[in-house]
A and B are shown apart, each in its own frame.
Chain A
Amino acid sequence: MPDLSVDFAGIKSPNPFWLASAPPTNSGEQVMRAFDAGWGGAVWKTLGQPIVNVSSRFGSVDYGDRRMIGFNNIELITDRPLEDNFREIEEVKRHYPEHAVIVSLMVETKEEWKDIIQRSIDAGADGLELNFGCPHGMCERGMGSAVGQEPKVCEEITRWAMEYSDVPVIVKLTPNVTDITVPGRAATRGGADALSLINTVKSIIGVNLDEGVIEPKVKNKSSNGGYCGQAVRPIALHMTNQLAQDRQVDIPISGIGGVETWRDALEFIHLGAGTVQVCTAVMHHGYRIVRDMIDGTERFMREKGFETIDEMVGRALPSYDDWGNLDLNHEIIAKIDEDLCIGCQKCVAACHDGAHQCIHVEEGTRVPYIDEAECIGCNLCMYVCPVPDCIKMVEVDNGKDSMTWNEYTAAKERGEDVEHPGKSTHQTHF
């Protein structure tokens, strides 16, 4: 039986699945129900000086029949009195000593940080998460992403927290920066025990065309929101990978952003995340999604022979490299399975208008063929094809030795007479 329990920067949890700081962790009653459902940990809805929220708050991107593939919000931190929150945190910890309760915090002054950290620890927090990521509302008040975007401030506040806290401190980063390693390193320098990311991406979810007003509307106005849900996962995966690859960031990472299934969670773990956090998918479907996350993860581990989560953390990291180190002589081409093809010819349009003009149709037939000499192996037709396994990318043995761009330019520099790597087609004559 695989063991799902984790020790994340000193925070113990029965499994790596945590609720992110957001509406699903707004109250003790909710968090306890979530633990009953199977969640291993919860990052409490960010505490700070209580605020007042607007209504409405949320916007959604629907795609065809699918609801909420992207989601945004203009909600702030907790709107409940601090005393209530702390009392409930204490109660949760009393009933669920084995589960991880991390308290998310966001205040301004050093004094406020000291005070709220102490109260969180007194309430029984297993760890703290510093919210340096909220990209709407709070940043206008100099908090949230305003901190995450300023490496110096980020480092300094982290240092304060480290000074006052005797439980592990996680710094939650904003993706609204050009290079995530900058705040990542700043938090590491400040002494953080771990990082979590991503918070939401600055966004405008859409415009109501009938009324000419941005969504979500508050009366007749709106503001920029924070984008999350499935649609942001690739961004979050990229940033997780960047931090995990960075030697100067040598602390654990909690992956967040678009996790909905066991597969999503495992992808983060494969890129170096020790735990994952979920918000939107729970807002959409409820706490119960964790049952399949646990079952699917266990099954995957049994199938692949992993016994602990740790064994999988970072498993895919070695597969990442700079573009300049990819083999330009590796050649694949598309193959169409004529028996499976239904003749929609979507691949024809895609290749002609969006790729390399090498899928053609013989007069009088509907099944296209590929001009293999011209195919550049880009994958586009395979993704466009509606029939599973109809278009496959297959490797071609072109007899060429491996050569990367970096190797090629280096050889050139050395004055060697090397053949230009890569496939020469009508569009690319070397």
Chain B
Amino acid sequence: MSETTKLPKARLETRFSPKEPLMTKHDAVVEANRCLYCVDAPCIDSCPTSIDIPEFIRRIATGNREGAAKAILEANILGYSCGQVCPTEVLCESTCVFQEMEEEPIRIGELQHYATDNALEENIQFFEAGEPTGQKVALVGAGPASLSCAHRLRRFGHETTIFEAKERPGGLNTDGVAPYKLQADQSLREVEYVRQIGGIDIEYGTKVGEDVTLEELEDEYDAIFIGVGLGADNRLGVDGADLDGVWGAVEFIERLKVEDNFELPDGVDRVCVVGGGNTAIDVVRQMRGLDVDDVMMVYRRDEASMSGYDHEWEGAKKEGARGVWHAQPAEIIGDGQVEALRCRRTRTNDNGELEVVDGSEFDIPCDMIVLAIGQSKLGELFEDVEGLELDWGCVVVDEKTQQTGNAKYFAGGDCVSGGKEVVDAVEEGKVAARSIDAMLQGRDPAEAEDDARPVAVSGY
């Protein structure tokens, strides 16, 4: 039986309230009725897991909330968290046809949250485990990729065991996503819901490569799914990088989300967040949410070149954050404790390359520096697996099947992509399960049917 992971009560993240609280029934039904129920809807194509969006929204409109949840979870078993953490602005909602009329797109993510919340709350289960096949699959890491994969493998009737280094499941859904989107307890609640299908065992505190070897897994299991995500925050190779007050972004967020009684150190009024991606913006917004006075995003290029989403950065600015552009960290100044971030100016030269301007050093006084300059890759762990290829630390797979160069190994999620969204990890886990099932039955994974796509109702 599934043992429930306990979280400390006094988590700093609980100070945040949801940016998009659960819709009321009235709000949901009004919004659902606004949906045009498009044919061959573009939103479906913009969802990595191809949820039949018009269908689930129609079900909300007709008062069939449970049926709506079913339509969502059929395609995406983590539909509850995705409804809250997905960057819908650049996914499903970005292609809503209302955009063509310059009108507000349907609030698809919020409707998805509304539809699935009740199923989780009431523990309404829609899927049953398949007839036991006697075949066993090991999954490495209990993040979204593995959870999605394991659930579908159970529907096919295969036995699943997940090995998780930490003491809790959910991966970055539990430890990483911004608390105003999803909090750790919600992620754990979802994991419990997913596991209700039965037979998804999780071995906590078991780091593959240390506590159990790949050879042992290979001996005992018929297939292995790699869903380890990414590793620790990259560090900055400059003087002063080890001073007190220099943090890794993911480390900071994880402590904020799951550590008992974690608080920002006293006297932190000015924070520099180094980076230009979504993790950097997340930290910036969280710092503002914790009432840090001056929160600066320090980025070596200009505002327009940031890889983080525009809508997130716009939100950060509204909340009072500011950007320091064309600034390349050169040194961290301080005496035991951070006092300033020394940067050099950059500019784009005639060849379009970024170059540092000589003699342009300047200091940004601050009490804390958070580095959001990427996470390490964990591929190394698998470098001895025969046939399995790595590309800059990412596991290489066949795009259609998620199979690696070693027929027994499949992979998905951030460890393959180098860092995308939860929903991508879910889709890749789902596809991998289908391929694993085909492989275990002696069929060609490339020929496996895509059974989860919305039923084509017509051949218009």
CB of A14 within 8 Å of the partner chain: no
8 Å CB contact of B55 from A261, A263, A288, A388: A288
Q: A261, A263, A291: which has the most chain B beta carbons within 10 Å?
A: A291
Q: Which residues of A254-301 have CB atoms within 8 Å of chain B's CB atoms?
A: 261-263, 285-289, 291-292, 295-296, 299
CA separation between A386 and B455, bound complex, in Å?
Answer: 37
Q: Which of B59-67, B185-193, B206-214, B229-237 contacts A (4 or more CB under 8 A)?
A: B59-67
The 9 A-B residue pairs whose C-beta atoms are closest, nearest first, are A261-B62, A296-B64, A295-B67, A288-B457, A37-B457, A388-B26, A33-B458, A292-B59, A299-B66
A299 touches B67 (CB 8 A): yes
Contacts of A291 in B (CB 8 A): 55, 455, 457
CB of A36 within 8 Å of the partner chain: yes
20 further contact pairs, Cβ within 8 A, besides A299-B67, A387-B26:
A33-B457, A33-B458, A36-B457, A36-B458, A37-B457, A261-B63, A262-B62, A262-B64, A263-B63, A286-B457, A287-B457, A287-B458, A288-B55, A288-B457, A291-B55, A292-B59, A292-B67, A295-B67, A296-B64, A299-B64
Classify the secondary structure of A's interface with B: helix
User: In angstroms, how far is the closest chain A Cβ from the Cβ of B458?
Assistant: 5
CA separation between A66 and B33, bound complex, in Å?
Answer: 9
Binding site for A on B (CB under 8 A): 24-26, 33-34, 37, 39, 55, 58-59, 62-64, 66-67, 70, 455, 457-459
User: In angstroms, how far is the closest chain A Cβ from the Cβ of B450?
Assistant: 18
8 Å CB contact of A296 from B25, B67, B457: B67
User: In angstroms, how far is the closest chain A Cβ from the Cβ of B78?
Assistant: 22
Contacts of B33 in A (CB 8 A): 66
Contacts of B58 in A (CB 8 A): 289, 292
A292 touches B55 (CB 8 A): yes
A295 touches B70 (CB 8 A): yes
Q: Which residue of B lies closest to A29 (CB)?
A: B459
Q: Which residues of A284-342 have CB atoms within 8 Å of chain B's CB atoms?
A: 285-289, 291-292, 295-296, 299
A296 touches B59 (CB 8 A): yes
User: In angstroms, how far is the closest chain B Cβ from the Cβ of A398?
Assistant: 33
Contacts of B67 in A (CB 8 A): 292, 295-296, 299
Instruction: Please classify how large the interface on chain A is, using the bins under 10, 10 to 19, 20 to 34, 35 or more.
Output: 20 to 34
B64 touches A295 (CB 8 A): yes
B458 touches A286 (CB 8 A): yes
Contacts of A289 in B (CB 8 A): 58
Contacts of A286 in B (CB 8 A): 39, 457-458
CA separation between A289 and B459, bound complex, in Å?
Answer: 16
User: In angstroms, how far is the closest chain B Cβ from the Cβ of A261?
Assistant: 4
CA separation between A291 and B454, bound complex, in Å?
Answer: 11
User: In angstroms, how far is the closest chain B Cβ from the Cβ of A197?
Assistant: 24
Task: Decide yes or no: A33 and B459 within 8 Å by CB, A292-B55, A292-B67, A296-B64 being known contacts.
Answer: yes
Q: Which residue of A lies closest to B66 (CB)?
A: A299
Q: Which residue of B lies closest to A37 (CB)?
A: B457
A-B contact list, 12 entries, CB within 8 Å:
A65-B34, A261-B62, A262-B64, A286-B39, A286-B457, A288-B457, A291-B455, A291-B457, A292-B64, A299-B64, A388-B25, A388-B26
CA separation between A299 and B457, bound complex, in Å?
Answer: 21
A295 touches B59 (CB 8 A): yes
User: In angstroms, how far is the closest chain A Cβ from the Cβ of B127?
Assistant: 14
CA separation between A92 and B58, bound complex, in Å?
Answer: 30
1/0 contact string of A172-204 vs chain B (CB within 8 Å): 000000000000000000000000000000000
CA separation between A33 and B62, bound complex, in Å?
Answer: 23
Contacts of B64 in A (CB 8 A): 262, 292, 295-296, 299
Contacts of A37 in B (CB 8 A): 457-458
Q: Which residue of B lies closest to A300 (CB)?
A: B64
Contacts of A296 in B (CB 8 A): 59, 62-64, 67
CA separation between A98 and B66, bound complex, in Å?
Answer: 29
CA separation between A388 and B29, bound complex, in Å?
Answer: 11
Contacts of A387 in B (CB 8 A): 26
Q: Which residue of A lies closest to B39 (CB)?
A: A286
User: In angstroms, how far is the closest chain B Cβ from the Cβ of A160?
Assistant: 38
Q: Which residue of A lies closest to B124 (CB)?
A: A299
User: In angstroms, how far is the closest chain A Cβ from the Cβ of B343?
Assistant: 52
CA separation between A387 and B455, bound complex, in Å?
Answer: 37
Contacts of B24 in A (CB 8 A): 388
CA separation between A289 and B33, bound complex, in Å?
Answer: 14
Q: A66, A288, A387: which has the most chain B beta carbons within 10 Å?
A: A288
Contacts of B62 in A (CB 8 A): 261-263, 292, 296
Q: Which residue of B lies closest to A38 (CB)?
A: B457
User: In angstroms, how far is the closest chain B Cβ from the Cβ of A5?
Assistant: 20
User: In angstroms, how far is the closest chain A Cβ from the Cβ of B74?
Assistant: 11
CA separation between A292 and B67, bound complex, in Å?
Answer: 8
Q: Which residue of B lies closest to A303 (CB)?
A: B66
User: In angstroms, how far is the closest chain A Cβ from the Cβ of B143?
Assistant: 31
CA separation between A263 and B64, bound complex, in Å?
Answer: 9
CA separation between A262 and B67, bound complex, in Å?
Answer: 12
Contacts of A299 in B (CB 8 A): 64, 66-67
Contacts of A288 in B (CB 8 A): 55, 457-458
CA separation between A263 and B34, bound complex, in Å?
Answer: 19
CA separation between A33 and B460, bound complex, in Å?
Answer: 10
Contacts of B34 in A (CB 8 A): 65
User: In angstroms, how far is the closest chain B Cβ from the Cβ of A360?
Assistant: 27
Q: Which residue of A lies closest to B459 (CB)?
A: A33
User: In angstroms, how far is the closest chain B Cβ from the Cβ of A99?
Assistant: 16
User: In angstroms, how far is the closest chain A Cβ from the Cβ of B29?
Assistant: 9
Contacts of A262 in B (CB 8 A): 62, 64
User: In angstroms, how far is the closest chain A Cβ from the Cβ of B157?
Assistant: 20
CA separation between A77 and B199, bound complex, in Å?
Answer: 58
1/0 contact string of A374-396 vs chain B (CB within 8 Å): 00000000000001100000000
